[in-house]
Chains A and B, each alone.
Chain A
Amino acid sequence: MLDADFFRRWMTAAAASVDREAERLTALDSPIGDADHGSNLQRGFRVVAATLEKESPDIPGEILQLAGRQLISTVGGASGPLYGTLLRRTGKALGDAAEVSREQLAQALRAGVEALMALGGAAPGDKTMVDTLVPAVEALGTSFEAARAAAEEGAVATTPLQARKGRASYLGERSIGHQDPGATSSALLIAALVEAAGE
Chain B
Amino acid sequence: MSEAPAKLVGIVLVSHSAAVAESVADLARGLTGGGTTAPVAPAGGTADGGLGTSAELVSAAAAAVDRGAGVAVLMDLGSAVLTVKALLAEGDELPENTRLIDAPFVEGAVAAVVTASAGADLAAVEAAATEAYTYRKE
Contacts and interface: CB of A to CB of B under 8 A. Distances in A.
B78 A81 contact: no
B85 A81 contact: yes
B12 interface: no
Interface stretch (B25-33, B86-94, B109-117, B130-138): B86-94
B52 interface: yes
B56 interface: yes
Interface string A15-50: 000000000000000000010100010000000000
Nearest to A73: B55
Contact of B86 (A74, A76, A77, A84): A84
Chain A interface size, under 10 / 10 to 19 / 20 to 34 / 35 or more: 20 to 34
Interface of A: 34, 36, 40, 69, 72-74, 76-78, 80-82, 84-85, 88, 115, 119-120, 166-167
16 contacts: A36-B51, A36-B52, A72-B86, A72-B87, A73-B55, A76-B52, A77-B53, A77-B78, A78-B79, A78-B82, A80-B82, A80-B86, A81-B79, A88-B90, A119-B89, A166-B78
Interface of B: 46-47, 50-56, 78-79, 82-83, 85-87, 89-90
Given A36-B51, A80-B79, A80-B86, 8 more contacts: A72-B87, A72-B90, A77-B52, A78-B82, A80-B53, A81-B82, A81-B85, A119-B86
